[in-house]
Structure formats: structure tokens, C-alpha cells
Amino acid sequence: MKTAHCVPVVMYHHISPEIGPITTSPKNFDDQMKGLVDAGYSTLTCDEFADFLAGKPTPPKSVLLTFDDGYLDNWVHAHPILKKYGLRASMFVVTGLIGDGPIRPCAEQDGVTLPRLPSHLECRALWTAGSTDSAMLRWSEIQAMRAAGTFEFHCHTYTHTRWDLVSKTREECLAHMRHEFEASHALLKEHLGGGSQHFCWPQGYFADDYVNLAQAFGFRYLYTTQTHGQNLCAKNSTHIYRISVKNRGARWFLHRIWIASHPVVGPLYNKWQSWKRKLRG
């Protein structure tokens, strides 16, 4: 069997008609997903991606779709579009921001009034104000997406805090991170019944001692926000690269995935982009 050389991991945050940073419109997301199906791509689960990293044969046109934080708009817009195309994605949730309560309407149902979706900046303001329900998912919605097979859920800490920036000492910082792992693991176990080996760094920050700590908690697959590298078969599972998606249609999306996974073009593109970034300082 011909196998994938590289599996691109795609990173989304918001799927929403509200314009803002790290936001893809439902129309463009629909176009991107249709593009994947039309081009014959398979969307992997995190376990299938882990098998690829371990050297197991994987279809050449494979991609892992990931979503960060756990925004309400993922239920309202991303879930129905994934369901329509029979695709799967993985979500890294900030467990302390997930609420309780009944399922809210989503775009799958015709003629319903959809909840108002705050923009990214409004969501961050709601986090700061400690009023997250109108911005973030509820456990009931997470369970519904899990049952539908559109999303699986993994850990993105309990509070999403950059403890390295607010702690007085490194020991204090690591103690906070230990609590992040313990508290989020307990909530995921309570609501979803099991742990996972996949973890995504909050705000993209990590260091060697963070990696050691995550591994001590059983996380073997660590997802970064670094774009310019390839996820290759039998390579380092503690440094997974992800492509940040733009608010553009299928043509841009498929071209970006093609570049990311190409054995020659991919590394050249990444070198060029890293060089440009260095020049910009």
C-alpha cells in the first residue's frame, strides 16, 4: 500500500460569521470541507494520526483537523458541516471554561434561532469577566458531537493561562501547570469517561520542563502552534506542527495542504517562511 509521507495537521479556532482574528466563516469552512471530500482526502482521528507517526501505513491523502479552545460556534457551525460531509475532527478544550446546561440550537436544524456568537475579541473579554457560557461549549454539546462522530475531545489545560508569564519562580509556574493537568484530566474523566494521550499547549507556549511534565501525566502527542515543519512518519510525536487556516475557500486550503505535505516543496517553503520571519525580527 502506498503510504502518506507527511500528514498535515490543520488548526482552527472559530467557525463563525462574526469577522475577527482566527475565524473562518461557515461559508469558507463548508467550501474547504467540500474541497477535501472532492479531492479524496481522509480525515484521521488522533489515534490514527498516532499510528501514522508510529510508522503504520496511512492513506497518502490524509489530514488531521484540529480545533482549539472549545468555542460555541464550533457546535453551531462546524459540527453540522462536518456531519454533512461525513468528516471527523479533534478538539482541544479548555476544560474549566466548559459549562453545564441543555444543548443550544445549531445550524443543522432549519428554522431555529441560532445563539448569538461573540467575536474572538468578545470571547476573550468574556473569559476575563468569568462569564464564559455565551462564548464556550457546554458538556451536553460536547457529548452530542462525540455521539455524532464529528468531533473527539482532548486536553488544552483547565484555564489556558500562560503561567510562565505570571509566576514569580519556575517552581511556582510548574506547580500551576501540574494543577492544570490534574484538574483538566479529572473533568475529562468525569464527563467523557477516559483520558487521552493528546495535548495542545495553551497559547502555543512550551519548554523542556513543560514537555517532561506533560509526559509524566501520560501525554505522548504534543500539539504546537508552530507552522513551519512537517509531521513525518516515525518522527517526534512531542512536537507536532499545525497549519493555521485562513478565512479563504477550498482552492487556497487544498493548495496549502499540498505544499505542507510535499516532500520537496514543503521543506523549501518552510525554510523560506522561517527566513522571512527572521528578517521581520
Binding residues vs Zn ion (CB under 5 A): 68-69
Q: Specify the residue, 69 or 73, whose C-beta has the smaller distance to Zn ion.
A: 69
Q: Specify the residue, 156 or 228, whose C-beta has the smaller distance to Zn ion.
A: 156
- Rounded to the nearest whole angstrom, what is the least distance from the CB of residue 68 to Zn ion in the complex? 4
- Rounded to the nearest whole angstrom, what is the least distance from the CB of residue 137 to Zn ion in the complex? 13
- Rounded to the nearest whole angstrom, what is the least distance from the CB of residue 35 to Zn ion in the complex? 25
CB proximity list for 212: less than 8 A, separation 6 or greater = none
Residue whose Cβ sits closest to Zn ion = 68
- Inter-helix orientation angle 170-192/139-148, to 10°: 60
Q: Specify the residue, 76 or 97, whose C-beta has the smaller distance to Zn ion.
A: 97
- Rounded to a whole number of angstroms, the distance between the first and last alpha carbons of the chain is 44
Secondary structure (3-state) at 160: coil
Strands 221-223 and 198-200: parallel
The residue to which cell 514537555 is assigned: 211
- Rounded to the nearest whole angstrom, what is the least distance from the CB of residue 33 to Zn ion in the complex? 22
CB proximity list for 23: less than 8 A, separation 6 or greater = 13, 14, 15, 16, 119, 120, 247
CB proximity list for 107: less than 8 A, separation 6 or greater = 26, 76, 77, 80, 114
Q: Specify the residue, 34 or 124, whose C-beta has the smaller distance to Zn ion.
A: 124
- Rounded to the nearest whole angstrom, what is the least distance from the CB of residue 234 to Zn ion in the complex? 28
Q: Specify the residue, 4 or 242, whose C-beta has the smaller distance to Zn ion.
A: 242
Q: Specify the residue, 130 or 281, whose C-beta has the smaller distance to Zn ion.
A: 130
**Number of Cβ atoms within 10 Å of the Cβ of 194:** 6
- Rounded to the nearest whole angstrom, what is the least distance from the CB of residue 69 to Zn ion in the complex? 4
Identify the H or E element spanning 128: helix 120-129
- State the amino acid at position 7 in one-letter form: V
For CA atoms 183, 185, 187, 189, the dihedral sign is negative
Q: Specify the residue, 15 or 107, whose C-beta has the smaller distance to Zn ion.
A: 15
HEC secondary structure over 180-193:
HHHHHHHHHHHHHC
Written as nine digits, the cell of 94 is 479548555
- Rounded to the nearest whole angstrom, what is the least distance from the CB of residue 185 to Zn ion in the complex? 17
